[in-house]
Amino acid sequence: MLGLAGVPLGARFRFLDPSPQACAGALGELLVAPLDDLDGVRELVAGADVCTYEWEGVPAASAREAARHVPVRPSGASLAVAQDRVAEKERCRALGIPTAAFAPVAGRAELDDAASRLGLPAVLKTRRGGYDGKGQQVVRTTADLDAAWGALRGTPLVLEGFVPFERELSILAVRAQDGTTACWPVAENLHHEGVLRVTRAPAPHLDAGLRDRAERLVRALLDDLDHVGVACVELFEVDGELLANELAPRVHNSGHWTIEGAATSQFENHVRAVVGWPIGPTDARGPAAMVNCIGGMPDPTTVLAIPGTHLHDYGKAPRLGRKVGHVTVTAPDDDELERRLAPVLDLAGPPG
């Protein structure tokens, strides 16, 4: 999607992906190599003006190698903080951004200690590499501690207090090289089994004070990291407060609605920012929703017959639980959005 946004701007792409089937191959030169293959990284950046990434799991050593040859944006600082849940939360706390209570856990005794300090329920997570609810276990009572430890041991962990949130939100922002920052409207996200299913943007019925707080916190983080490009902060709304859950130093699934729903999409603005061009306005064009297609694509004839729908098929092989596309729905007002969204949810939405 970065390629789809960048090609019309005149940008040309070379992609590095471990899979020869990577759908980006349709939009530029595709190098097939593991992401930790430093020869592959050198070939990737040869002759390039800039290197970027759309996954925070990119190995730090690969980002460092790329940075020896071309500017890497966002920089290694954003990557390092976003790759470690403890570093992420410490950075938030240092900037006065509230998070769930947390404690790093390296051993079994430390887990007991953390559980008694934080209280239960809590969520045990791997510090690194977890996504879409993978690498985490909910601990409801002390009887669950052994099972959670058994499932995740062997890698540094963090125990987080369980947040009884009212809803999940996210805020996306783009920061240009001169520090100019623009925020897209806060989005509301519905997850099922840890995986994002539906985003509504702008988030319905959001208190203006909370919206301003979300904007302030993402700006503070991006300024602190001297971040260049798009980033997303996932938030919990609880008791009239926002807690930061995760920082994604990249374009984000909860920003896919911006392709049709905003004046400039997250993908276009990311390309503009990392290349060094001025960023575009981020206002919503109206209410929008995005539904992930998970495991397979719905029938285009049926989906596209619903007014205001746009289908994005990533060209990925269908596989249980795999995000293979999304549908965006736009409408002139909130009621009409819900009317259009309902049949899309039946066709492509979460089970139940």
User: What is d(CA 11, CA 237) in angstroms, rounded to the nearest whole number?
Assistant: 38
Cβ–Cβ < 8 Å for 32, 24: no
User: What is d(CA 28, CA 311) in angstroms, rounded to the nearest whole number?
Assistant: 22
Cα angle 251-300-253, degrees, rounded to a multiple of 5: 15
For 2, residues 6+ apart whose C-beta sits below 8 A from its C-beta are 13, 52, 54, 251, 267, 270, 271
Nearest distance in Å: CB 244, ligand AMP: 11
For ligand AMP, the nearest residue by Cβ is: 163
CB nearer to ligand AMP: pick between 73 and 125:
125
| Spatial CA neighbour of 206 closest among 170, 163, 258 | 170
Nearest distance in Å: CB 121, ligand AMP: 8
Which helix or strand (DSSP H or E) is residue 328 part of?
strand 323-330
CB nearer to ligand AMP: pick between 45 and 139:
139
Nearest distance in Å: CB 90, ligand AMP: 16
CB nearer to ligand AMP: pick between 100 and 218:
100
Nearest distance in Å: CB 192, ligand AMP: 9
In three-state secondary structure terms, 340 is helix
Nearest distance in Å: CB 139, ligand AMP: 11
Nearest distance in Å: CB 131, ligand AMP: 6
For 344, residues 6+ apart whose C-beta sits below 8 A from its C-beta are 289, 291, 303, 306, 309, 327, 329
Cβ burial 4-34 (10 Å sphere, 16+ → b, else e): ebbeeeebebbbbbeeeebbbbebeebbeee
C-alpha distances (whole Å) from 253 to each of 15, 59, 197, 243, 327 are 19, 21, 10, 19, 12
CB nearer to ligand AMP: pick between 186 and 274:
186
Binding site for ligand AMP (CB under 6 A): 100, 123, 130-131, 133, 160, 162-163, 168, 191, 194, 234, 245-246
Cβ–Cβ < 8 Å for 328, 288: yes
The 8-class DSSP code of residue 23 comes to: G
CB nearer to ligand AMP: pick between 130 and 298:
130
Nearest distance in Å: CB 170, ligand AMP: 9
CB nearer to ligand AMP: pick between 13 and 162:
162
Nearest distance in Å: CB 102, ligand AMP: 8
CB nearer to ligand AMP: pick between 167 and 310:
167
Cβ–Cβ < 8 Å for 303, 344: yes
User: What is d(CA 134, CA 126) in angstroms, rounded to the nearest whole number?
Assistant: 9
CB nearer to ligand AMP: pick between 6 and 130:
130
